[in-house]
Amino acid sequence: MDRLGLDPFLNTHFRDWKLGHTSVASVGAGVRYHVNSDGGVIQTWRRVERLGSDSFGHVWKERGLDGRTLNHVRVVKQLRKDRPNFIQSSRRELYALTTFSKRTAPEHHKLFVQLLNWYEDRECLFLTMEYVRHGDLQRYIEIGTKFPDRQAPLITGQIASALQYMHTKGFVHRDLRPSNILVAAEGPAWSVKLADFGIATNVEDTWPSKDYIRTSGYMAPEMVDSPQYYTTAVDVWALGAVVFCLLVGIPHFHKLDDMLGYCAGIRQFPTSVLGASTELSIDFILNAMDPVPDKRMSIQKALNHKWLHVIEDASVVEHRYVRAHSDLAHPV
Ligand SMILES: Nc1ncnc2c1ncn2[C@@H]1O[C@H](COP(=O)(O)OP(=O)(O)O)[C@@H](O)[C@H]1O
Ligand SMILES: [Mg+2]
């Protein structure tokens, strides 16, 4: 089979992200040498764990074996060149990762997984990224972590800020779900980062085709019907679905048909499972998951929603309480 070279990438700013002037040789059990044009080894890495996999690639955790990278940890996303639309899809992922990097988004980069560089061999493209040490949010949901009233809004606010930034830069994520949200710091002071821009794209684009979109419980209804005609509103739907999952521990609808039934007005939204949640959180979810994209709240409205400001309000109350007490102790 014909293997694709990535020469087209070298005529863009992606060139600056390529790992030196390297060619790569894999030797032995998961050890990779990056060598310069004279054949001198500049970095050596060993695979230590597979973090993810699909039919077109893997995600690896690797540890540095020498020099400046000794004992450093990186994540390598390996994308097979024989996947459908390889050039198109990898260019999009790389474009998103470079757009949300510290270099180009110094104020917002903490909300996104950081690209380190890329390299290729005959069969694959490799994107190397920072290792986000606590893995993804799905893991916390699976082990039944509770996200109490103050912690869920904190996580949601960070995801919403990241989405808003993406939207202002003309991107739609389109695959927001807990497994694509990485945890940099655990609760109560959660810090999360958006990852996996495999199908992220510019708003005007009509790619990918229906076949390429992976079905997910977080997918907005308009993506099911006509994947070509969607807007940033699909990310707001997915945000609502993620919040539902944080609060309840399971996705909102078990079957696609149930979700479509809700959108057609035949079924109720399963608010009963949200029983113990606050009215504000339920209001947030229902506004984010409006079946009609034009009626769905915008990401800006989501960011301004009162539920996300419960924490600030609570800290203001606490602050006042402390002041009131210190006033009592030290009357002026
Ligand atoms: N930078 C990272 N740090 C830690 N874990 C990661 C990182 N990138 C990916 N992962 C883990 O690997 C999984 C798959 O990566 P992802 O980029 O979502 O690829 P895929 O396209 O296979 O879904 C994630 O769900 C997460 O658990
Ligand atoms: Mg993923």
- How far away, in angstroms, is 123 Cα from ligand 1 center? 20
Q: 175 an active-site residue?
A: yes
User: Could you give the CA distance from residue 312 to residue 179 in angstroms, rounded to a whole number?
Assistant: 28
Question: CA 305 → CA 43, 281, 288, 302, distances in Å?
Answer: 48, 9, 10, 5
Q: Which residue from 47, 49, 51 has its CB within 8 A of the most atoms of ligand 1, so it is best to mutate?
A: 51
pLDDT value, residue 327 = 35
pLDDT digits over 274-301, tens only? 877 889 999 999 999 999 999 999 999 9
DSSP β-ladder status, 124-130 and 115-120: antiparallel
All structural domains of the chain, each given as residue ranges with its CATH number in brackets, are 7-106+114-131 (3.30.200.20), 137-318 (1.10.510.10)
User: Could you give the CA distance from residue 12 to residue 57 in angstroms, rounded to a whole number?
Assistant: 24
Q: In the beta sheet, which residues pair with residue 127?
A: 77, 118
Q: How many CB atoms lie within 10 A of CB 248?
A: 18
User: Could you give the CA distance from residue 83 to residue 198 in angstroms, rounded to a whole number?
Assistant: 12
Q: Show the tokens assigned to 5.
A: 């070279």
Distance of CA 138 to the CA centre of its chain: 11
pLDDT value, residue 109 = 97
Q: Show the tokens assigned to 68.
A: 């400046």
pLDDT digits over 154-186, tens only? 999 999 999 999 999 999 999 999 999 999 999
137 CB within 6 A, ligand 1: no
- Whether 22 and 11 have beta carbons less than 8 Å apart is answered as no
116 CB within 6 A, ligand 1: no
Mean pLDDT of 290-314: 89
Closest ligand to Cα 77: 1
Residue tagged active-site, from 2, 66, 121, 175: 175
